[in-house]
Structure 1
């Protein structure tokens, strides 16, 4: 039997390299890998379903799954996870000293429904009482004008969402003080370039995230993997084969990271950071699989529906191909 020649679009992460380099094979598949940034993958996936297998935004996929319009079915492989206390940038000259001071402010976002923004709004409300309706949201491209939401939203009537002026970006608006803060998965360039009036909201974002995890046991999932639904229907073995290969690729990447006889990444003290991550999050700190992540997915889906992003409250099982909800054991 000839192998399936399939396109695979993912980020250029260490956990993908064994697959991309051919060290790990997907059973029955001859893949064509495309290493792209999330913005390109998600735009092409949700607008045109360009890929056979690809990384997907958890939020966008949840919107489409609840509506019954997703061209992809999920696999419990989570290429991107991140604590998002580092994702809030504020002006230091507009009276924002604590998260609750964001009330009444104008906050820029590249897209309202981005997964990172859902997680940020979750902990801002639960920990600091800040509701989505307490601020004015200004939507636009970080560094390029004209960015739009990838998918149509139907937000609650009390959520105020404006588009950025035609010739302005989110970064330029923050730099000039026309907005008070930015929330999103990337840092705006005015922050990375050292603007004197732009800083993190949290003085120590890592400490804030560690404290939050200690209380909630949530290591936020940003992205999952998707297989074209028509392919999964035609080849029901495919989602399981994909899950197995990506799990093996991650395991090999972590084994290489753990070998500090010659450090594999351009960063000092890797062994100390790896040890700290495992002390906080457990040995399998970047877990794939359904059961290990059920509680994280459940909290996200509850919040997602409460925000009006998904038109019904999805159960975590609905996100994934049935064959990937359990695995064999020896």
Structure 2
């Protein structure tokens, strides 16, 4: 039997490299990998379903799944996870010293429904009492004014969302003082350039995130892996084969990360960061699979629906192919 030739669009992560480099094989598949930025993958996936297998925004995928219009079915592989306490950037001249000070402010976002922003709004409300209706949201491209929201939204009436002025970018508005803060998965360029009036909201976002994890046991999921639904129906073995291969690839990447005889990444003290992550979160601090992540996905879906982003309250198992909800044991 000849192998399936499939297009696979993912980010260029260390946990993906063993697959891309051919060290780990996907059983029954001859993959053509395309290493792209998330913005390109998501745009092409949700607008045109360009790929056979691809990384998917958890939020956009949840919107589509709730509506019954997703061309993809997910596998519980999570190529991107991140604590998003580093995702809030504020003007230093607006008296914003605590999260509570965001109330009444104008906050820029590249897209309202981005997964990172859902997680930020979750902890802002649950930890600090800042609701989505307490601020005015300004939507626009970080650096390109032509960026649009990929997914049509139906938000609660008390949420104020407006578009950035024509030709203006979110980074430019923050730099000029026309908005008070930005929330998003990337740092705005004015922050990266060291703008004197732009700073993190949290003085030590890594410490704040670690304390939050200790209380909640939530390591936020940003992206999952999708396979074209028609392919999964035609080849029911495929979702399981993808999960198995991506698990092997991640395990190989982590074993290399822990080999500090010659550091594999261009970062000093990586062994200390690895040790700290395992002390806080356990040996498998970046778990794949359904059982290990059901509680994280359900917390996200609960918030997602409460914000009016998903048309119905999904359960975690609704997102994933049935064949990947459990695994064999020996």
- Please report how far the alpha carbon of residue 34 of structure 1 lies from its aligned counterpart in structure 2 after TM superposition: 0.2
Shift of 1:144: 0.5
CA distance in 2, matches of 1:329, 1:262: 35
SS of the equivalent of 2:80 reads coil
Q: CA deviation at 1:166?
A: 1.0
The Cα offsets for residues 133-156 of structure 1, whole Å up to 9 and x where unpaired, read as 000000000000121111101000
What is the CA–CA distance in structure 1 between the aligned matches of 2:139 and 2:302, rounded to whole Å? 24
Q: Distance in 1 between matches of 2:133 and 2:146?
A: 24
Q: Which residue of 2 aligns with 1:310?
A: 310
Offset at residue 272 of structure 1 (A):
0.9
How far did 1:182 drift? 0.1
- Is the aligned partner of 1:86 residue 2:92? no
Alignment partner of 2:77: what SS? coil
Write out the 4+ residue segments of structure 1 that deviate beyond 4 Å after TM superposition. none
- Distance in 2 between the 1:191 and 1:205 partners? 15
Provide the rounded CA distance (Å) in 1 between the counterparts of 2:120 and 2:151: 20
TM-score (norm 1): 1.00
What is the CA distance between 1:270 and its match in structure 2? 1.1
Q: Provide the rounded CA distance (Å) in 1 between the counterparts of 2:48 and 2:167.
A: 27
SS in structure 2 opposite 1:25?
Answer: coil
Equivalent residue number for residue 20 of structure 1: 20
Structure 1 equivalent of residue 226 of structure 2: 226
| Counterpart for residue 252 of structure 2 | 252
Rounded Cα–Cα distance in structure 2 between residues aligned with 1:113 and 1:266: 33
CA distance in 2, matches of 1:94, 1:277: 34
In structure 2, the residue matched to 1:45 is 45
How do 1:189-228 and structure 2 match up within 5 A? 189-228=189-228
Task: State whether structure 2 residue 274 is matched by structure 1 residue 274.
Answer: yes
Taking the aligned partners of 1:6 and 1:294, their CA distance within structure 2 comes to: 28
Whole-angstrom distance in 1 between the partners of 2:260 and 2:166: 50
Taking the TM superposition and a 5 Å limit, the aligned residue runs for 1:5-154 are 5-154=5-154
Cα distance in 1 between the residues matched to 2:282 and 2:300: 21
Q: Look up the match of 1:238.
A: 238
In the alignment, the residues of structure 1 paired with residue 305 and residue 22 of structure 2 have an alpha-carbon distance, to the nearest angstrom, of 40
CA deviation vs aligned residue, 1:225-280 (integer Å, no higher than 9, x gap): 00000000000000000000000000000011111110000001111110100000
User: 2:161 — aligned with what?
Assistant: 161
* Bigger Cα displacement from structure 2, 266-275 vs 75-84: 266-275
CA distance in 2, matches of 1:148, 1:273: 37
Provide the C-alpha distance between the structure 2 equivalents of 1:258 and 1:208, rounded to a whole number of angstroms. 25
Find the residue that maps to 1:9 and give its secondary structure: strand
How far 1:167 moved relative to its partner? 1.2
SS in structure 1 of the partner of residue 208 of structure 2: helix
Distance 1:212 1:196 in 2: 28
Deviation string for 1:264-306 (max 9, x for gaps)? Answer: 0000111111010000011100000000001100100000000
**Is 2:4 the counterpart of 1:4?**
yes
Q: Secondary structure at the match of 2:221?
A: coil
Show CA shifts across 1:75-98 (max 9, x none): 000000000000000000011110
Structure 1: how far apart are the matches of 2:271 and 2:195?
33
Q: How many residues get paired? A: 330
What TM-score, normalized to structure 2? 1.00
